[in-house]
Amino acid sequence: MNKLNYLAGVMLVASLTTGVAEAEPLKIGVLESLSGGQTSTGRPFATAAGFGIDLINQAGGFNGAKIEFLEYDNGGNTTGAADKFKQAVADGVHIVVQGASSAIAGQISEDVRRHNLRNPDRPIMFINLGAEALELTGDKCHFHHFRFTTTAPMRVVPLVSAMKENGDLGGKVYSINQNYSWGRDMEAAIKAAADSGGYKVVGTTLHEVNKIQDFSPFVATIRDSGADTVMTGNWSNDLLLLMKAAGDAGLKVRFGTTFLDQVGNIANAGTTALGHYVAHPYNIALDDTSFPEDFKRATGHYPVYIEPQSVNAMRALGEALKKVNFNGGKVDVNKIAAALEESSVKTPIGEITVRKEDHQAMLPVVVSRVEKGAKYPVDGTDMGFKPVKTLTGAEAIYPVQSSCKMQRPRA
């Protein structure tokens, strides 16, 4: 090789190396409860988001590089979330994801909004995987927040409809919920659905979150009300202890729930759970694609609880990324957000799209009943969730809240 050809080769390699080095990788950070008492809720969000991002990377990544996925432990509280958001900003994260707690989601969403006001040239986007407080797509809505989970009306309306059609609703409903934004949303949704459900709300309770060890006094109140059905948005121990107390007291009521599919609930509740209902965004029994087995190979278990919706959120992001091309240069979060508004994902139970006015995902909702002999038994029991009704995203969605005044970034 002569000297001229050698120098030409060196220059070519250098230019290629420079091109690779200049490609800005998209950075996604999960700010989740990854330690302490809420790990069992936070870790599934991180696992599912990571699985979804792996799918994008396996297809070639984005902007000439693999997407970088970073984990930040918020410690299960808003202070930790605020601190970890600052760290994510320092690390150059473009998109943050989170789902376990509406309170924490509210903190992150506000931190994102304030950051973007101060730094319009370096905006950050928040993809909400599981926080369901209505205010997040109401008075706290903003362009850089997207919610890929349901809200109280999106669960209660299908729940009431399915239970009524199956003759399991009754004419008297008792509402018991945790006393924070989500629980108050649930109580309002239960009251709002009374006319269409043909029932009377015979009592309501809002109680402290995950601090009640003995629900027998509440069960006594429910018994005195004469309720046929108990509707609740309770989760974790507040749901398990409530159902256990009802079972121990021999209370003959039907439960309509939103989080009965949380891992461990059926094992802990035992046969007390039989015949009770849950409204959720996914039921594996309706999935005839390779997703359940693919997810199991990657994680060691079938997709359950909030994991499918989290994967679908990343799939929607993947579809959005196909519509933008930065040619290896600076990542423009505003363009990704605009593309995400136009994204859609087809699932075995229906299509998922995003409503532009408030960035609420329009996703199908399945209502299932706990029965023995289900296609996919859960928690090592002989019980599982049998689907009884599915509503499309258009059927399950609620009107845009008048309090959402979304301002779009200047072009």
Task: Write the DSSP assignment of 136-197 as a string of letters.
Answer: GGTTT--TTEEE-S--HHHHHHHHHHHHHHTT-S-SEEEEEEESSHHHHHHHHHHHHTHHHH
The DSSP output letter for 255 is E
pLDDT the model gives residue 235: 87
Tens-level pLDDT at each residue, the chain (411 residues): 454 444 444 444 444 444 445 789 999 999 999 988 778 889 999 999 999 999 999 999 999 999 999 999 999 999 999 999 999 999 999 999 999 989 999 999 999 999 999 999 999 999 999 999 999 999 999 999 999 999 999 999 999 999 999 999 999 999 999 999 999 999 999 999 999 999 999 999 999 988 999 999 999 999 999 999 999 999 888 998 998 899 899 999 999 999 999 998 999 888 989 999 999 999 999 999 999 999 999 999 999 999 999 999 999 999 999 999 999 999 999 999 999 999 999 999 999 999 999 999 999 999 999 999 999 999 999 999 999 999 999 999 999 999 999 999 986
pTM across the whole model: 0.92
Q: For residue 38, give both structure tokens.
A: 């809420």
Distance CA 182, CA 18 (A): 50
Cβ-contact 204, 154 below 8 angstroms: no
Cβ burial 357-381 (10 Å sphere, 16+ → b, else e): ebbbbbbbbbbbbbbeebeeebbeb
Residue listed under structure tokens 């008297």: 172
Beta bridge partners, 68, equal 27
Which of 108, 27, 51 is CA-nearest to residue 306? 51
pLDDT the model gives residue 411: 67
Backbone angles phi, psi at 235, to 5 degrees: -140, 170
pLDDT the model gives residue 236: 81
Give the helix/strand (H/E) hosting 73.
Answer: strand 68-73
pLDDT the model gives residue 21: 55
Which of 126, 94, 129, 92 is CA-nearest to residue 111? 126
